[in-house]
């Protein structure tokens, strides 16, 4: 793996308050919109060839912020950037979400085609996601549900889901469990449903995220897409446990990523690797490769480390080491389904510590149907179909020094009969779980010194 280059940013700096007008001079209290100040500061730095924009202590309410090449957004220790819920500030653009080329609202923080960009500091970036997301009654207690009802909005016909507005409800009805409604619907009417990821970085090169807390995203939290040379260290990513599509970070079709020393507490998959979905993903043909993920902690999420289910461009040469997953639905989660295609290979996971895993410590599910692992049905048992470009392939995936203290099941494998998993190995692993190992449609798995509840697996 080649050396990952970090951004080169000029040493000059400016302070956000230098760009406030007389009417926004007291914007630090979070009551005055200061979108223009962020934009003017970025314009100024861009005209000089780049530099650092310092956001001082305070609460700063703003609309979308676009990062420019050779610029750094730096948050002081007590700086809180809060993104306005005013939808008029977020135009609908051509973008990519869940592996498909679609139209959705522009992200609160965004960059396209930029080089040498950074978000640093110890402050907090809040996406005001509660104004965008739906809420399922079964995911929260009665107090939270009553609080949401007071916000207004509308309920599903069954009364078990809260939607921000009628347009969202209409879009959900046509989209079903997916996030892609009938294209014939009026975009402006269903705008809330087209909720953005908090940070969208597309086709960027030499990116640094360091120290900042990213929280409360409308959809996914962090989404580097088609990027090269990304360094992420010591960040905190937070979303409510009930947040729909509240992923932590989705590293998609990137080449060269180092993620270290970071913590995640989210409402969906925490650290997720993707590379496009179905025909769109295969057309882009960009695998996610050359990744190091080390020293991270996940406190809540559908999966601690996840590959898929949108992996049609493939994933390769990924090393996950010295991570802790506490209370996640699944520890190490690999998922796809027929129609995706894509090759996932040469993955190494070692020294992973897992505690109180709700479902499986390690799972492969190539019949993924868009539901949480805790809701997964029994293994599919379908006849083989011909192998073609739409058949996902998983092989040469290695686990060592895994420790799991408490899970519903240690290892669950559900491959495809037409293209079983191949080259999977476990070495020096210890599991404590209600159930042991269950395997469907896989070439023989190599178990070397692996125990479940003290008994050796052979």
Taking phi first (over 0 means left), then psi (-120 to 50 degrees means alpha), and beta for anything else, what does residue 276 get?
Answer: left
Active site residue 268: yes
* The model scores a pTM over 0.95: yes
**Residue 354 tokens, joined:** 């897992």
**Residue 112 tokens, joined:** 């396209």
The Cα–Cα gap between 274 and 281 comes to 10
pLDDT at 24: 78
pLDDT at 320: 98
Could you tell me what percent of the chain has a pLDDT over 90?
Answer: 94
Tell me what the mean pLDDT of segment 230-249 comes to: 97
Asked if residue 297 lies in contact with residue 261, where contact means CB atoms within 8 angstroms, the answer is no
pLDDT at 379: 62
| Beta bridge partner(s), residue 251 | 273
pLDDT at 381: 63
Asked if residue 313 lies in contact with residue 287, where contact means CB atoms within 8 angstroms, the answer is yes
The Cα–Cα gap between 235 and 223 comes to 14
3-state secondary structure the chain: CCCCCCCCCCCCEEEHHHHCCHHHCCCCEEEEECHHHHHHHHHHHHHHCCEEEEECCEEEEECCEECCCCEEEEECCCEEEEECCCHHHCCEEEEEECCEEEEEECCCEEEECCEEEEEEECCEEECCHHHCCCEEHHHCCHHHHHHHHCCCCEECCCCCEEECCHHHHHHHHHHCCCCCCCCCCCCCCCHHHHCCCCEEEECCEEEEEECCEEECCCCCCEEEECCEEEEEECCEEECCCCCCCCCCEEEECCEEEEEECCEEECCCCCEEEECECHHHHHHHCCCEEEEEEECCEEEECCEEEEECCCECCCEEEEEEEEEEEECCCEEEEEECCCCCCCEEEEEEEEEEEEEEEEEEEEEEECCCCCCCHHHCCCCCCCCCCCCCCCCCEEEEEEEEEEEEEEEEEEEEEECECCECEEEEEEEEEEEECCEEEEEECECCCEEEEEEECCEECC
What's the CATH superfamily of 58-128+196-456? Single-stranded right-handed beta-helix, Pectin lyase-like (2.160.20.10)
Identified catalytic residue from 223, 284, 302, 440: 302
- Residue 402 confidence (pLDDT) above 80: yes
- Which residues neighbour 239 within 8 Å (Cβ) at sequence distance 6 or greater? 129, 215, 216, 217, 221, 246, 247, 248, 265, 266, 267, 268
- Residue 321 confidence (pLDDT) above 90: yes
Digit-coded pLDDT (tens) for 192-205: 999 999 999 999 99
Identified catalytic residue from 116, 247, 265, 268: 268
Domain ranges of the chain: 58-128+196-456, 134-194
Tell me what the mean pLDDT of segment 353-373 comes to: 89
Digit-coded pLDDT (tens) for 14-41: 999 999 988 777 889 999 999 999 999 9
- Residue 333 confidence (pLDDT) above 90: yes
- Cα distance between the two ends of the chain: 34
Q: How many residues does the chain have?
A: 458
pLDDT at 376: 64
- Residue 375 confidence (pLDDT) above 90: no
| Beta bridge partner(s), residue 62 | 83
pLDDT at 27: 85
Digit-coded pLDDT (tens) for 169-218: 999 999 998 899 999 999 999 999 999 999 999 999 999 999 999 999 99
pLDDT at 136: 97
pLDDT at 6: 98
Taking phi first (over 0 means left), then psi (-120 to 50 degrees means alpha), and beta for anything else, what does residue 327 get?
Answer: left
């Amino acid at each position: 793996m080649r050396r990952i280059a970090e951004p080169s940013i000029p040493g000059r700096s400016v302070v956000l308050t230098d760009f406030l007008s007389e009417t926004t001079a007291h914007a630090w209290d979070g009551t005055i919109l200061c979108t223009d100040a962020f934009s003017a500061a970025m314009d100024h730095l861009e005209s000089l060839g780049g530099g650092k924009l310092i956001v001082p202590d305070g609460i700063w309410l703003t609309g979308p912020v676009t990062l420019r090449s050779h610029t750094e957004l730096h948050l002081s220790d007590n700086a809180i950037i809060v993104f306005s819920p005013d939808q008029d500030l977020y135009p609908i653009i051509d973008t990519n979400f869940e592996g498909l080329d679609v139209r959705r609202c522009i992200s609160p923080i965004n960059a396209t085609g930029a080089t040498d960009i950074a978000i640093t500091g110890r402050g907090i970036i809040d996406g005001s996601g509660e104004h965008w997301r739906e809420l399922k009654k079964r995911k929260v207690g009665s107090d939270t549900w009553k609080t949401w009802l007071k916000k207004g909005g509308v309920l599903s016909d069954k009364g078990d889901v809260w939607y921000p507005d009628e347009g969202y409800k209409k879009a959900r009805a046509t989209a079903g469990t997916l996030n892609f409604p009938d294209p014939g619907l009026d975009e402006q009417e269903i705008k809330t449903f087209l909720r953005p990821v908090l940070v969208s970085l597309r086709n960027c090169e030499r990116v640094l995220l360091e120290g900042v807390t990213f929280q409360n995203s409308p959809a996914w939290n962090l989404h580097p897409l088609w990027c090269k040379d990304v360094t992420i260290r010591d960040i905190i990513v937070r979303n409510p446990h009930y947040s729909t599509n509240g992923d932590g970070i989705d590293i998609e079709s990137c080449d060269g990523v180092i993620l270290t020393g970071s913590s995640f507490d989210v409402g969906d998959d925490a650290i997720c690797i993707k590379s496009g979905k179905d025909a769109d993903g295969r057309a882009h043909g960009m695998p996610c490769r050359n990744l190091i993920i080390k020293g991270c902690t996940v406190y809540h999420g559908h999966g601690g480390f996840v590959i898929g289910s949108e992996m049609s461009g493939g994933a390769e040469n990924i090393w996950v080491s010295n991570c802790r997953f506490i209370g996640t639905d699944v520890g190490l989660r690999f998922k796809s389904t027929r129609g995706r295609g894509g090759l996932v290979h040469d993955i190494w996971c070692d020294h992973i510590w897992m505690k109180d895993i709700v479902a499986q410590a390690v799972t492969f599910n190539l019949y993924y149907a868009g539901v949480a692992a805790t809701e997964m049905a029994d293994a599919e048992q379908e006849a083989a179909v011909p192998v073609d470009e739409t058949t996902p392939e998983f092989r040469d995936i290695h686990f060592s020094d895994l420790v799991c203290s408490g899970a519903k099941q240690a290892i669950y494998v559900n491959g495809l009969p037409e293209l079983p998993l191949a080259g999977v190995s476990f070495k020096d692993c210890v599991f404590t779980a209600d159930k042991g190992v269950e395997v469907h449609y896989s070439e023989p798995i190599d178990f070397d010194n692996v125990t479940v509840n003290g008994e050796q697996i052979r």
